[in-house]
Amino acid sequence: MLQTPADFAANQASASAPRLFYGRFVHNTDLENLEYVNNGIIFIDEAGKILETHKDATEEKLAELQQQHGLSEENVVRLGDKQFLMPGLVDTHIHAPQYVFTGSGMDLQLLEWLETYTFPRESAFKSVEYAKVAYRDVVSQLLRNGTTTACYYGTIHLEACKVLANIVDELGQRAYVGKVNMDRNSPDYYIETTDDSVEKTEEFIKYMLEMNKANPRVYPVLTPRFVPSCSGELMRQLGDLARKYDIPIQSHLCENKGEIEWVKHLHPELPSYTAVYDHYGLLTDKTIMAHCVHLTQEERELIKEKKAGISHCAKSNFALRSGVCNVRQLLEEDQKVGMGTDVSGGYAISMFDAIRTSAIASQTVSFTEKRADGSAYEHLKLAELLHLATLGGAKVMGLEDRIGNFVVGKQFDALLIDPSAPESNFHVYSHDDIYTTFEKFIYVGDDRNIRKVYVDGRVVDNKDTA
């Protein structure tokens, strides 16, 4: 069930002691490899930091660790026979206010969809009371579906963005939160002046940095919507804020061919869409660019030079008919790539759906695109897909030293998966081992199989209390 504030407070209190998790776990060791552990131990401290991991452990080893660290049986979490742990999922691109119209307008392309649905619905967030309801819904649903870390777009409304940050803080998720900027080519009812946009953005940054002192899981991110909606002067001043506060930046890039032509018209003095962001100081090693479907070679080289990250949003790219991103090419070029749902251009909030759609997108590329030498691009494998949704996303957000897998020194952001959960969408048989069980879950399972969600070692969603 969805966790109430009281549930979260109780779980925080119960997480004040170290714990030993004993059972099976799966995680990425790198882009191409998954590590499957049958009898593993993950030992975390009271702050959720991973202190030790052990493979092929015995009950004797578990008892030894209990004695060594003075832990009672209450500090031991024993996984069921078919259960396993996996890292929490990282959504590197999601529009929190757009959850309220998820699944709407899927017969439209990007620019028409923005005018018809996005701007009218987002403008409603001028109401703080409306924002409180909608943002609690979206954060709760993300946690329920296993997204422990999210990179959120808000709206242009300062107070509503504070509401989003407060709810993320309260419910225990890890997130970047951004106040959207847009001072041109936007409807009269949903637009800012340049000065107002900059002033309110800086106020929001200060608000978030103050919150971050008490809760390091939440952090601000600069959020110019995209070049067509931000004047050169606004982008210049946002670049100044990025340098002043040394914070991340997120925006959209080369999603749709019509959008790219629009940017060329707006900025004929610059060689590319990517170059516009770079010109205004918005392309850095802390930048997250969503989509990047139609990048030129020069743009890809610039992104790599600046060490910016890319959020792959396959569901949205299909739904809005923007195109198919060649992720294999990006990985071969050693770009930083993560994965996003892009709710609500992407109409599914689950990162597992994003993984599955990304697999189809990659297979499509393998059928339709060739390298310069005529060879086909190989489709993404299971390990690579999970990497994009966990450790790859952590790298894009600059959090790879903190989250993404079960490595000593990182925080315990994890999902407890139960293939035998009530009403599970798939079944496990005697022939299934950890390999086939994990693959079945990734391709067929859903939120019913996610029994517990942990962030910093604390339970933030618990279906076992339902």
Query: What is the structure's pLDDT at 456?
Result: 98
> Is there a single domain that holds both residue 350 and residue 236?
yes
> Is there a single domain that holds both residue 63 and residue 164?
no
Q: Please name the helix (run of DSSP H) or strand (run of DSSP E) that holds residue 264, with its range, or none.
A: helix 257-266
| Residues near 94 by beta carbon (within 8 Å), at least 6 away in sequence | 142, 150, 151, 152, 153, 340, 341, 342, 343
Domain boundary among 341, 362, 397: 397
- In whole angstroms, give the CA distance from residue 315 to residue 411: 29
What is Dmax (Cα atoms) for the chain? 70
User: Going by DSSP bridges, is the β-strand pair 309-312/287-291 parallel, antiparallel, or unpaired?
Assistant: parallel
- In whole angstroms, give the CA distance from residue 21 to residue 216: 24
> Is there a single domain that holds both residue 194 and residue 48?
no
Closest CA to 57 of 37, 73, 77: 37
Query: What is the structure's pLDDT at 106?
Result: 87
Ranges under pLDDT 70 in the chain: 1-16, 466
> Is there a single domain that holds both residue 100 and residue 58?
no
CA angle 170, 173, 177 (to 5 degrees): 90
> Is there a single domain that holds both residue 41 and residue 144?
no
pLDDT tens-digit map of 51-66: 999 999 999 999 999 9
> Is there a single domain that holds both residue 68 and residue 102?
no
| Residues near 318 by beta carbon (within 8 Å), at least 6 away in sequence | 324, 357, 360, 361
> Is there a single domain that holds both residue 238 and residue 303?
yes
Does the residue 257 lie in any domain?
yes
Query: What is the structure's pLDDT at 16?
Result: 65
Does the residue 10 lie in any domain?
no
Does the residue 279 lie in any domain?
yes
Does the residue 259 lie in any domain?
yes
Domain that holds residue 432: 19-87+406-462
Does the residue 218 lie in any domain?
yes
| Residues near 460 by beta carbon (within 8 Å), at least 6 away in sequence | 3, 8, 11, 143, 148, 171, 172, 173, 453, 454
**The CATH number of the domain where 278 resides is what?**
3.20.20.140
> Is there a single domain that holds both residue 75 and residue 133?
no
Instruction: Report the SS3 class of residue 422.
Output: coil
> Is there a single domain that holds both residue 391 and residue 439?
no
Domain boundary among 363, 397, 431: 397
> Is there a single domain that holds both residue 323 and residue 203?
yes
> Is there a single domain that holds both residue 294 and residue 175?
yes
Does the residue 14 lie in any domain?
no
pLDDT tens-digit map of 325-346: 999 999 999 999 999 999 999 9
Measured in degrees and rounded to the nearest 5, phi and psi for residue 219 equal: -155, 150
Does the residue 27 lie in any domain?
yes
Query: What is the structure's pLDDT at 449?
Result: 98
- In whole angstroms, give the CA distance from residue 299 to residue 302: 5
- In whole angstroms, give the CA distance from residue 250 to residue 264: 20
| Residues near 195 by beta carbon (within 8 Å), at least 6 away in sequence | none
> Is there a single domain that holds both residue 93 and residue 83?
no
Closest CA to 263 of 297, 228, 291: 228
The number of folded domains in the chain is 2
Domain boundary among 342, 367, 397: 397
Query: What is the structure's pLDDT at 17?
Result: 85
Does the residue 11 lie in any domain?
no
**The CATH number of the domain where 420 resides is what?**
2.30.40.10
User: Going by DSSP bridges, is the β-strand pair 33-44/19-30 parallel, antiparallel, or unpaired?
Assistant: antiparallel
